[in-house]
């Protein structure tokens, strides 16, 4: 089974509309001559306030897909400040990132909420990018695998095999996010293979072979080739290095040096 790689940029809480427009145009320019059939699926996740603008800028390109960074699980109602899956679909989003460690840590998001969001996203016709990852303390105390397995089981609970197969998981060790410390590629691959095994246990082997599992945590142009050469790493979720068109484009082109 060949899984199409994904290079996804998470812009987090950065960029006014002008900045988002320049970054989007810079990415479009950097990838314009790449052969689409050899490209990874490129995804960008601007802030809510830039989604409409970025959506318009990329509408004529099939090379970039749009993602939101969060959503609510209800379809409407008295949830001041929240945004529904339908609203994000209306803006042209294909993916929604859920369960990012920053949302779990600063906004008290639980596994149960992430599961409700995953169900709502799939029911609404979009695809979740489900983040998981351990803290440094958990890694040092030897509970990485059990912690991540439990996050994955909870997030995917009640989903059909078909829904799981088209979802995306991002393994992001929290100690590697925004710190400049990347997780050793072989270790990231080991954890991702473990996640694939958990997916197999709760679904079946063809589902586990289909689901794309990304690595995230200080990915840079210089690290992506080695990461993409690993058997189970299907792409990257990129924070800091996705905020400059040059580095994001270099990550995309460097990732293509690795045969899949
Ligand atoms: C992220 O927040 O998803 C991330 C991986 O950030 P960074 O690349 O900056 O570590």
Q: What is the mean pLDDT of residues 44-69?
A: 98
Residue 182 confidence (pLDDT) = 84
Quick one: which atom of ligand 1 is closest to the CA of 241? Answer: 8
Residue 2 confidence (pLDDT) = 87
Spacing, Cα 173 to ligand 1 middle (Å): 10
For the question of residue 41 being annotated catalytic, the response is no
* pLDDT digit string, tens, across residues 154-180: 999 999 999 999 999 999 999 999 898
Pairing of strands 168-171, 127-132: parallel
* pLDDT digit string, tens, across residues 141-161: 999 999 999 999 999 999 999
pLDDT above 80 for 260:
no
Residue 259 confidence (pLDDT) = 75
* pLDDT digit string, tens, across residues 23-42: 999 999 999 999 999 999 99
pLDDT above 70 for 222:
yes
The answer to whether residues 175 and 147 touch, using CB atoms and an 8 Å cutoff, is no
pTM as predicted = 0.97
Instruction: Please pick, among 100, 102, 109, 163, the residue that the annotation labels catalytic.
Output: 100
* pLDDT digit string, tens, across residues 91-102: 999 999 999 999
pLDDT above 90 for 123:
yes
Spacing, Cα 237 to ligand 1 middle (Å): 7
pLDDT above 90 for 227:
yes
In CATH terms, 6-255 corresponds, of 3.40.640.10, 3.40.1390.30, 3.20.20.70, 3.40.50.300, to 3.20.20.70
- Give the pocket of ligand 1 (CB within 6 Å): 10, 172, 177-178, 216-219, 237-241
- pLDDT band at 1, cuts 50/70/90? low
Residue 237 confidence (pLDDT) = 98
How far apart, in whole angstroms, are the C-alpha atoms of residue 240 and residue 178?
7
Residue 181 confidence (pLDDT) = 85
Nearest CA owner, ligand 1 atom 6: 239
Name, in order, each residue with C-beta under 8 angstroms of 178's C-beta and a sequence gap of 6 or more.
218, 239, 240
**Structural domain boundaries of the chain?**
6-255
pLDDT above 70 for 52:
yes
Q: Phi and psi at residue 165, in whole multiples of 5°?
A: -60, -35
For the question of residue 100 being annotated catalytic, the response is yes
């Amino acid at each position: 089974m060949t899984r199409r790689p994904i290079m996804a940029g998470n812009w987090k809480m950065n960029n006014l509309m002008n900045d988002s427009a320049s970054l989007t145009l810079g990415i479009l320019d950097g990838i314009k001559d790449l052969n689409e059939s050899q490209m990874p699926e490129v995804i960008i996740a601007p802030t809510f306030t830039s989604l409409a603008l970025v959506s318009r800028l990329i509408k004529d390109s099939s090379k970039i897909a749009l993602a939101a960074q969060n959503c609510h699980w209800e379809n409407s109602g008295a949830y001041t400040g929240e945004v529904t899956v339908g609203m994000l679909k209306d803006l042209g989003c294909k993916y929604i990132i859920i369960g990012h460690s920053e949302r779990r840590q600063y906004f008290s998001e639980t596994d149960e909420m992430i599961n409700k969001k995953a169900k709502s996203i799939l029911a609404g016709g979009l695809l979740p990018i489900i983040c998981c990852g351990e803290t440094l303390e958990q890694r040092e105390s030897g509970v990485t695998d059990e912690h991540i397995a439990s996050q994955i089981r909870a997030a995917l609970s009640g989903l059909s095999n078909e829904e799981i197969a088209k979802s995306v998981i991002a393994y992001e060790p929290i100690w590697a996010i925004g710190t400049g410390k990347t997780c050793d590629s072989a270790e990231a691959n080991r954890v991702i293979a473990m996640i694939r095994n958990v997916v197999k246990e709760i679904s079946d082997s063809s589902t586990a072979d289909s689901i794309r599992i990304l690595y995230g945590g200080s990915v840079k142009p210089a690290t992506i080739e080695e990461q993409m050469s690993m058997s189970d790493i299907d792409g990257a979720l990129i924070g800091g290095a996705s905020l400059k068109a040059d580095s994001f484009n270099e990550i995309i082109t460097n990732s293509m040096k690795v045969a899949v």
